[in-house]
Amino acid sequence: MSRLPVSSSEYRKLSNRIVDLTAEYLQNIDKLPSFPHCSGQQTEQLFGGSSPEDGLGEASLEAMPDVFANGRVTGPRFFGYVFGSGEPVAALADLAASVLNQNVTAWRSGPSAVAIERTVVGWLADAIGCKGFTGSLTGGGSSANLMALCMARERALPGASRTGMPRDIRQPVIYTSAEAHMSMAKASAILGLGYDAIKLIPVDQSFRMDVTALDHAIDTDMRAGKVPVAIVASAGTTATGSIDDMEAIAEIARRQNIWMHVDGAYGALAAMAVPEKFAGMGRADSVSLDPHKWLYQPADCGCLLYRDSAMAQQVFAHSGDYAKSLISDPIEGFAFFEESMELSRRFRALKLWLSIRYHGMRAFRESIGEDMRLARHLATRIAQEHSLELLAPVALSAVCFRFVDAPAGTDLNALNQQVLQTVIDQRKVYISNANIQGKFSLRACIVNHRSTTSDVEAVVTETLAAARAIMARTAQ
């Protein structure tokens, strides 16, 4: 008898309740407020407290409606951050993956799971123009970027992964644009290179890395005896969605023999819809991308692709005797832990595999294209409003803007912070913010398979309503 008994009939009953709850949530998702009516104190009261000494049985599920009611909704008007909208078939696959409970670390520990992940990784590589790349799924772009820079460090400083950083090492440098994601600096610190190893290259008026400045910085650093470790190009920066000139960067990386990594966590998957915007990405040594962003998968589902699996093995193939494979067959002997920093790995691939099989790649490609069309529509609507100002070009699906129709001398940064909080408090649409050349920006990022034209129109309507209400209170 199981020490944690749940019979098959009980499991079916419990799962039916959960599925019914999720189905009702999805049925009403477009009617729910964009942010829950709750406070931090209320959530602590609802979900805090001591753990129960004795089990509640089926009654434990009675708290689940509160979990849903106090969660941030990924409905059609969620345009905050860069976070996907949660495709339902993938969610069902996540349930199945949890029941299977595979450790996707080696073929012998999860045969179907490992085969599916390797297949899905190949699909992703082909979809973005990186045919022949291999890799693995990760928790997200941050861990993918960390592993990529670990491989870059090994190329630039051979043996560093085994013996550590040489004591007499000249100053290492990782080149990124001034718009690069914060995970690069964190990865540099974790790898022992330090935050100061990150050199921020200025950007042009379209927020793309200035490749002339990059070339000059590398030449200057090499003459000074510094060690270039990697060039990180952005395929969709977090704030504006700008895409660096990857062809030009790839040429510099080739000429100087520097590892080129593409941070495509946000935008790389848009290469499915607009491949011309991503020319040169296939020349990189490694690429990160997040299916839990622009393939709408439930978190977590990131990915690292790389050209040379031998470099991944050189860095990560450090195994204890208890883990070493005794199988010579290339399929049955395969181990993700020989090419990844992870050992215990969940079955992330099942949701992506099932979701793609259910809908087909064409549907995802068209949905990404529609997100980009909606972003262009929103930018056009903003440009039509004299009270609003567009702050950056719309390269992908991030739209940065602010309210400007205020009396002379008004602190527009402070005003737009108030506008943002008011829009969120009204709970009709959810947007976030960015800093664009010192200007506080309202930001709508559309990576949402549920959104329509009327939903993005609500961004303009709600922003204007919030701003005018603030201005009216100020005038009193």
Positive or negative, the CA dihedral 307, 312, 314, 319 is negative
pLDDT at 164: 81
pLDDT at 319: 66
**Span of 171-175, 320-324, 437-441, 465-469 with lowest mean pLDDT:** 320-324
Please check the confidence at residue 114 and state whether its pLDDT lies above 90.
yes
Q: Which domains does the chain have, with CATH numbers?
A: 102-359 (3.40.640.10), 362-475 (3.90.1150.10)
pLDDT at 169: 74
Please tell me the distance from the alpha carbon of residue 89 to that of residue 287, in angstroms, as a whole number: 26
Q: Averaged over 56-61, what is the pLDDT?
A: 96
Nearest by Cα to 218 from 174, 277, 262: 174
Using left for φ > 0, alpha for ψ between -120 and 50, and beta otherwise, residue 306 falls in beta
Dihedral in degrees, nearest 10, Cα atoms 444, 446, 447, 449: 130
End-to-end CA distance of the chain: 72
- Residue where the block lists tokens 């602190």: 411
Please tell me the distance from the alpha carbon of residue 121 to that of residue 339, in angstroms, as a whole number: 13
Task: Report whether 273 contacts 368 (CB < 8 A).
Answer: yes
Please tell me the distance from the alpha carbon of residue 351 to that of residue 90, in angstroms, as a whole number: 4
Q: Averaged over 145-171, what is the pLDDT?
A: 88
Nearest by Cα to 186 from 240, 150, 155: 150
Please check the confidence at residue 188 and state whether its pLDDT lies above 90.
yes
The 10s digit of each residue's pLDDT in 406-418 is 999 999 999 999 9
Please check the confidence at residue 51 and state whether its pLDDT lies above 70.
yes
Average pLDDT taken over every residue of the chain: 95
Contacts of 67 (CB under 8 A, 6+ apart): 47
Q: Name the band, by pLDDT with cuts 50, 70 and 90, for residue 146.
A: very high
Please tell me the distance from the alpha carbon of residue 333 to that of residue 351, in angstroms, as a whole number: 24
CA distances from 226 to 150, 218, 371, 400, 435 (A): 18, 9, 43, 37, 31
What is the CB neighbour count within 10 angstroms for residue 30?
14
Please tell me the distance from the alpha carbon of residue 452 to that of residue 76, in angstroms, as a whole number: 7
Using left for φ > 0, alpha for ψ between -120 and 50, and beta otherwise, residue 207 falls in left
Gyration radius of the chain over CA positions: 24
pLDDT at 322: 55
Please tell me the distance from the alpha carbon of residue 416 to that of residue 380, in angstroms, as a whole number: 20
The 10s digit of each residue's pLDDT in 303-362 is 999 999 999 999 998 766 655 666 778 899 999 999 999 999 999 999 999 999 999 999
CA distances from 248 to 87, 95, 176, 293 (A): 36, 44, 14, 27
pLDDT at 325: 64
**Judging by DSSP bridges, how do beta strands 172-177 and 227-234 pair with one another?**
parallel
Backbone angles phi and psi of 234, in degrees to 5: -100, 125
**Span of 9-13, 19-23, 159-163 with lowest mean pLDDT:** 159-163
Task: Report whether 146 contacts 340 (CB < 8 A).
Answer: no
Q: What is the pTM of this model?
A: 0.95
